[in-house]
Amino acid sequence: MGKDTQVSIAIIGTGGVGRCFLQQCSQILPQYSNVSLVFLSRSNRSLRVPTWNHALRLDTWEKDLAASTDPALSPQELLAWFATTENELILVDNTSSPDIAAFYPKFLGHKITVVTPNKKAFSSDLNLWNEIVENAYPNNPDGGFLYHEASVGAGLPIISTLKDLLETGDEVQKIEGVFSGTMSFLFNNFAPVEGKGGKWSDEVTKAKNAGYTEPDPRDDLNGVDVARKLVILARMVGLQIESTSAFPVQSLIPTQLESCSSGNEFIEKLPAFDDEMEKVKTKAEEKGKVVRFVGSIDVASKAVEVGLKEFDKGHAIAGLKGSDNIISFYTKRYGSNPLIVQGAGAGGEVTAMGVSADLIKAIKDVHGCKRLR
């Protein structure tokens, strides 16, 4: 990296993924003599350097942030502060905030590189997606770089793989897979290839107790998280998908339990509906198959869908273990043998790894190696 290029990093979000990311940063940033952490914030407070020549300490960030009396900055205030330096800037947004996401176009338009796992930025309003893409490099030659690998596959290289396929001229025909570590864990235990499996309500309870689900399992079982990931990939291959409501998304929440006041109430009442899921499993077993919760994009027909599907027991999707995700890219080059990406697709450490890998790419990019082409 050139001696004259100073890179300043601002991080929003220090809980969960953010905490794991900061731990990884303590190993990454010392490798770069002219890269420094200048800003940290969580929901109610922030910490920033007194001058742009200073750097925040990664070994004491938690104590220093807790002691800070400075409030969190709004996106507008943060952008105004960024305008006071000529350093190259990288904003890492580890939140799921739609308000920060809505400001990405302005950050990018001011040559600020954005690194984020925030899938809401790329799966909600189509106009926002278009504004983000238009303001990012290379569509905007003076725009910031954009990295959001972890918005789809956590630490799995899903977005980068799709980009490579598209940029090298391959024709993506179909994308299909298990996009949720929660759903993978549930169905691998509820309907294993070797048969049997537990009761549906028992498996949901086990997943919740093991930390695989959200505090309210309905936030996983409604299929929306998977749908968001498909919206992102569909838009990347050129489909103008308005939102997650623009295609079929199967919810596994019994209609009678949608109004439960809490996740605990939902868990208590779920056993009464075990027979419904048992019928789904038995129907597949009678055909020598297993049922899985998948998402798929058929590019030619512009069809996107999320829900239950039966697979032969020898299929790669059927043979998943634990909470692994698997995504298959069917393309013109790869023919009938898809390019498959498989591995852990959830968890703080692996999601943070996806963000960290993006940060390393961003540091190299803001140095100017791509802008000089």
Write out the two tokens for 42. Answer: 């969580």
Q: Is 229 a catalytic residue?
A: yes
Residue 12, helix vs strand vs coil: strand
Whether cis (ω within 30° of 0) applies to the bond prior to 141 is no
Q: In what order do the strands lie in the sheet with 146-147?
A: 46-48, 35-41, 7-12, 88-93, 112-115, 146-147
Strand partners, 175: 297, 329
Among the residues of the chain, which ranges form H helices? 17-28, 61-67, 75-82, 98-101, 104-109, 120-123, 126-135, 150-153, 158-167, 181-190, 200-209, 218-221, 224-236, 263-269, 274-285, 348-364
From 120, 229, 289, 309, active-site residue? 229
Write out the two tokens for 254. Answer: 């019994």
Asked if 204 and 276 touch (Cβ cutoff 8 Å), the reply is no
Dihedral sign for Cα 59, 21, 186, 194, please: negative
Phi, psi of 9 (to 5 degrees): -115, 130
Phi, psi of 211 (to 5 degrees): 85, 15
CA nearest to 93, candidates 25, 37, 11, 38: 11
Q: Where in the sequence numbering do the catalytic residues fall? A: 229
